[in-house]
Amino acid sequence: MEIQSAFNSGIQGFQKATEDANKAASDIVSSTVLDQQAATESQQAIQPSTQSNSQQSTEAQPNLTQSIVNLKVAEYQAKGSAEVIKTADEALGTLLDVRV
């Protein structure tokens, strides 16, 4: 494997981990916001027709547990990608030391 392609793989993995972490964080926020809205609505003696709409929006919300797991997976993906970049850097350093 070429060192440049190892760097590229590490960077692409890190970018993917960043995107996944941002998505998971967004899902966590939207899940907690929707939960807070549902709790507020239930405390306000809402009408049955409004309550059915609230239940529909709650069903569409992201799963909080899955979002937290996705965030943790993104963390490990970022750590793995950082290790790939570090290893490619060390390999390049070793090659430069051998040639000098």
Range of the domain at 42: 3-99
Q: Total domain count for the chain?
A: 1
Q: How many CB atoms within 10 Å of residue 85?
A: 18
Q: Can you give the pLDDT of all 100 residues of the chain as single tens digits?
A: 577 888 999 999 999 999 999 999 999 998 888 777 777 777 675 555 544 554 545 456 678 899 999 999 999 999 999 999 999 888 888 777 665 5
DSSP, residue by residue, 30-99: HHHHHHHHHHHHHHTT--HHHHHHHHHHHHTSPPHHHHHHHHHHHHHHHHHHHHHHHHHHHHHHHHHHHH
At residue 74, φ and ψ (nearest 5 deg) are -65, -35
